Structure 1
């Protein structure tokens, strides 16, 4: 049976890449008609597969998978019904044999990305080049003629492959996997970077560390993930930043041993150069970017442990600031809650250093609490109040001197206000 006409009609029009920015109403109408028609086309494809699945060739299976995976996401061309039908189709290939994965990568994915070779990769081996191919302008050439962007949903095909590649097969398929991953991860547009980060995260669940290290791609990945942290003004920023930080942390833990100097240095680079150096100096007026970075901070702090001590001055200054911002500055309850959670993580990581910082922390926590009590117009979330209490409790554990010095002063100043903040800890200190 010839599937080509059906599969051809499921090729997503390139205009969907700019769907949100299209001013022409007739173009939008045309794309919407295609989107609705695709639902029926997918249903037709599903029916024909049910009739012919036993006799499908390897190429037909690969082509069907490549067509259906495009409808698995939340993209502009995906209707809820088309997603359901696509899922039903792909369920029939839920345990693909390795030759089928190779077929998809070799003949459905590789041709899309062939025209944009990554300047730091040997496309035949998937290894890092000693120096970028093409000289100083190689990076600019990499962004020219990106024909793979004319195929919306191409990244979904890569995701399907990465999700199904066995750990033992990465060695064999590396030269087919890593070029499209790096093309996405190192793209200049945040939405493609996010796709690359998501694929990298999936890949790190199975890829052997030995493959990453031997090919030198570990350093390419960490550098590309670090560059993702400079995307502070895109709609994807709130999702991209924590995803890139999490993926970086996973990569570092995969490639280094516990307690090693190499792990310490890389974690310091992630926190110091990445979060503190690349995000915070430019995010004072970009609350979404700041919030995203702080939400991702506790796991990095936990991984670095007492090594965070070298960054305490900037960490504590940043984390207490949203609790009592200046009048002309913006904050949000979500930012306050995330900052308090990160502050608790810092206290846990560096308890021996908290004597020096207890005054700064309690000043901000106390003023934030008083602001909550004095606020008559709105009722603050219980979550915010609980996180303030958690910080006070953790500080008492890390720095018992507050029980004899600071907490009694709070209670003496106004026991009615601060009794709920300090709880049993505060009452026992009096």
Structure 2
């Protein structure tokens, strides 16, 4: 054949264009007018022509300088050793060329050298200076980095050959070499004949003739060669041309032996039939579904190879045809099964409606629904793969082994073990099985007035994750599969059955289409990728709470708020809504209310459930029956809120600070139990924290709520014992710390106990008044009686006395005979100046006595004057200095002025007493005259 007959073209049709085609038309598939070996002309591209020239020149170089051939595990017959080197391009490249489709993969068959041997000589030839430039090349890659660059179609470096010397043993074993030349993937391999064993598809390889090599191939259309020397197409099976003309897939040899030798050819024939839109020859189909061949496919073929073929089918131009062939040839359970398990003891997949399912995928892809669910080639692949998993939709969950993670669904195991699906694909399958019921429910709820709110639907899609579209497609296919099989409707005509089935599937498609339109209408198609307005760092800073396990779900609460308020995208706005300043009482926003509910119900409550008090019901009311005292437990292991989960206290504090009266009432039942558990703890520090929290809560509690729930008495019973933690049984610092917060909490309780109108109309002493009286008698007076020598404790007691008397008002008079002597003993103590805080708090308590018991001051003026003059003289004698004592002196003068005001009706008598005191000690003049 004259070289003039060869025509080149500058721009080969990209192979991707072929993949995108759905089917090849018969007219385009093959031109029968040019089928003969002698006349059929292949149009080589410019790159292919350069490659052909290079290979011919290398063959001549080898023939002219045979040198020392490298060792090979494949013996070379003597008759071949004397022949010239002949190179052919084989298989798929020839087929695609005849179809008019470009291919960038070329298998080079060598008649008397292995690919390993030829690759070494090719590398040797290209390393000769000046040779690469003849073919538009720049040399051979010498390392992996250069070889990677050679992957580019525009690269002029030959890649891959350096690996021959880097891994000689591996290359010799495989006897093949893969390289990259001018952007083409080149496989170098010798012509071969193969001998197979019963238990493996890997043959014993020997050098063979072109005819033997052609006959060992999987299909006649893949068995034609292009002789690059003669430029002829060689059809050694004698059927390649005719089978292409008739669109037939046929095995070169008898099908049974072909499949028995290499059962993977069953899958390869399905792939080629679906790719080319060819029909598999009837004898081949017969043996493809033979039980012995299917057993061999399971036993001899690695599941990785099965997965490779399956993926090529589903990524090819017609996955539907491939899956239909698998179904028609009864190969489903052979391919989609777990080879590790005994198939007689595992779940049998429900394939009754599988044909309907896979055909329905095509309807999805061509519909409006498909435009949303399938956006790219990867999602197209996933929807076809998921359709193959639908028969496992109802498989029972595998039993869980104690102490281990729940096992994946059976469908996932089938994918992982049956065809070695990637981790990403397995995750999609797992999530599809897990979520399909929820997705279907969401679809059904998307009709009518009770459509899911934006936040509900958005959070659901975020739970489903980035592959929610594929999962939704799976749910749609499950709904179709779960419809009663049309084939079972024997009482109806076939036309009626087909129409009924069609209407049913269209109803499902319409339902899911409406659902997706609703998702689009709410602008939620990409909600899975929506970033929270607040991240974890900003949230913890706004709350003033350390990080912890609570953060993940708390951020979901923030996301719900964000979904409800799509217009609020400013991070500052969200932070300000969460942050609550101590000196402000803003009306809590919607986000705060949501966070409160989450923290109380899902974070705080579970941590306190084992230590929950028995005094309160689950509704936050007082238990009316008799409650036995709780058994003392030294083991604190159950109180994780004191250890690793201590963040719960910070969250509870934030909840109480952030709440207003309405939110306190709404969440009362959830706030009170953990508070009582904290107050009930044996550790005084936690009791102190409980007192602080309870005070903040009571300051926001309406009196009607305490009365309705009956918890006023419960709080009093919990708080009053805190006043008994006194030295020396309790260290003075701890005692003072607890008393400092217990008294304010009790005062807040007294303020919240009575409704003012109810108290005014009642003839009996109010609960509030009883509690305040108890604070004086069982608190202040008892503390001073038991530990008067502990200055810190006494300072807290006298400071609290001022607040108590202010709350009692004139009702303080009944306590005057007891509290005034107490203060007198403190203020006249010889070493009173040793503790300025105690001296100051006592003077202020004296002021509170005058203010609230003024009608009795003319009776007790002598004691009051003694309380103020003695410490004044002490300070003068000791010549104390400093801001503390300056403050005390000013407060003493205020006492005198308050007493003078209280004794206005006895002003002359009081003035005489003052003058007499100054006469006795002139140092008092400044006290009385300023």
Q: Is the 8 A contact 2:707 2:753 kept in 1?
A: yes
- For the residue of structure 2 that corresponds to 1:405, the secondary structure is helix
Q: Is the 8 A contact 2:616 2:623 kept in 1?
A: yes
Deviates most, 282-291 or 394-403: 394-403
Report the structure, 1 or 2, having the larger strand content.
Answer: 2
How far is the alpha carbon of 1:350 from its aligned partner?
A: 1.0
**C-alpha distance in 2, partners of 1:377/1:251?**
40
Q: Is the 8 A contact 1:271 1:300 kept in 2?
A: yes
**TM-score normalised to structure 2 length:** 0.35
1:203 aligns with 2:203: no
1:246 aligns with 2:744: yes
Q: Is the 8 A contact 2:620 2:673 kept in 1?
A: yes
How far is the alpha carbon of 1:110 from its aligned partner?
A: 0.8
**C-alpha distance in 2, partners of 1:152/1:92?**
24
Task: State the match for 1:354 in structure 2.
Answer: 857
Task: State the match for 2:597 in structure 1.
Answer: 102
How far is the alpha carbon of 1:142 from its aligned partner?
A: 9.8
Unmatched 5+ residue regions in structure 1?
Answer: 1-51, 73-86, 425-430
Q: Is the 8 A contact 2:592 2:658 kept in 1?
A: no
2:640 aligned to which of 137, 147, 151 = 147
- Cα 1:373–1:293, aligned 2, differ >3 Å: closer, same or farther? same
Post-superposition CA distance 1:140-195 (Å, at most 9, x none): 25986433323223211111122233422334422211111111122222111121
- Cα 1:142–1:107, aligned 2, differ >3 Å: closer, same or farther? farther
**C-alpha distance in 2, partners of 1:351/1:246?**
25
**C-alpha distance in 1, partners of 2:529/2:853?**
60
Task: State the match for 1:405 in structure 2.
Answer: 912
Task: State the match for 2:925 in structure 1.
Answer: 419
**C-alpha distance in 1, partners of 2:529/2:785?**
56
How far is the alpha carbon of 1:252 from its aligned partner?
A: 1.4
- Cα 1:231–1:89, aligned 2, differ >3 Å: closer, same or farther? farther
Q: Is the 8 A contact 1:319 1:339 kept in 2?
A: yes
1:367 aligns with 2:367: no
- For the residue of structure 1 that corresponds to 2:771, the secondary structure is helix
Unmatched 5+ residue regions in structure 2?
Answer: 1-527, 548-571, 580-588
- Cα 1:142–1:131, aligned 2, differ >3 Å: closer, same or farther? farther
Alignment of 1:171-320 (within 5 A): 171-232=665-726, 233-234=730-731, 235-258=733-756, 260=760, 261-262=765-766, 263-277=768-782, 279-320=783-824
1:392 aligns with 2:896: yes
**C-alpha distance in 2, partners of 1:61/1:103?**
16
**C-alpha distance in 2, partners of 1:152/1:190?**
16
Post-superposition CA distance 1:24-80 (Å, at most 9, x none): xxxxxxxxxxxxxxxxxxxxxxxxxxxx9954599x989x659964439xxxxxxxx
Report the structure, 1 or 2, having the larger helix content.
Answer: 1
**C-alpha distance in 1, partners of 2:812/2:837?**
24
Post-superposition CA distance 1:324-357 (Å, at most 9, x none): 2146x89512111110111011011111212222
2:839 aligned to which of 330, 333, 336 = 336
- For the residue of structure 1 that corresponds to 2:613, the secondary structure is coil
Post-superposition CA distance 1:174-221 (Å, at most 9, x none): 221111111112222211112111211221233333222222222111
Post-superposition CA distance 1:349-379 (Å, at most 9, x none): 1112122222222223222222222224756
**C-alpha distance in 1, partners of 2:599/2:711?**
22
- Cα 1:359–1:221, aligned 2, differ >3 Å: closer, same or farther? same
1:71 aligned to which of 511, 523, 546 = 546
Q: CA RMSD in A?
A: 3.4
Task: State the match for 2:659 in structure 1.
Answer: 165
Deviates most, 336-345 or 215-224: 215-224
**C-alpha distance in 2, partners of 1:66/1:377?**
46
1:325 aligns with 2:867: no
**C-alpha distance in 2, partners of 1:282/1:128?**
33
The structure with the larger Rg is 2
- Cα 1:344–1:110, aligned 2, differ >3 Å: closer, same or farther? same
Q: Is the 8 A contact 2:613 2:676 kept in 1?
A: yes
Task: State the match for 2:613 in structure 1.
Answer: 118
**C-alpha distance in 2, partners of 1:102/1:372?**
57
- For the residue of structure 2 that corresponds to 1:396, the secondary structure is helix
**C-alpha distance in 2, partners of 1:100/1:55?**
18
**C-alpha distance in 2, partners of 1:281/1:119?**
34
- For the residue of structure 2 that corresponds to 1:126, the secondary structure is coil
- Cα 1:326–1:53, aligned 2, differ >3 Å: closer, same or farther? farther
**TM-score normalised to structure 1 length:** 0.72
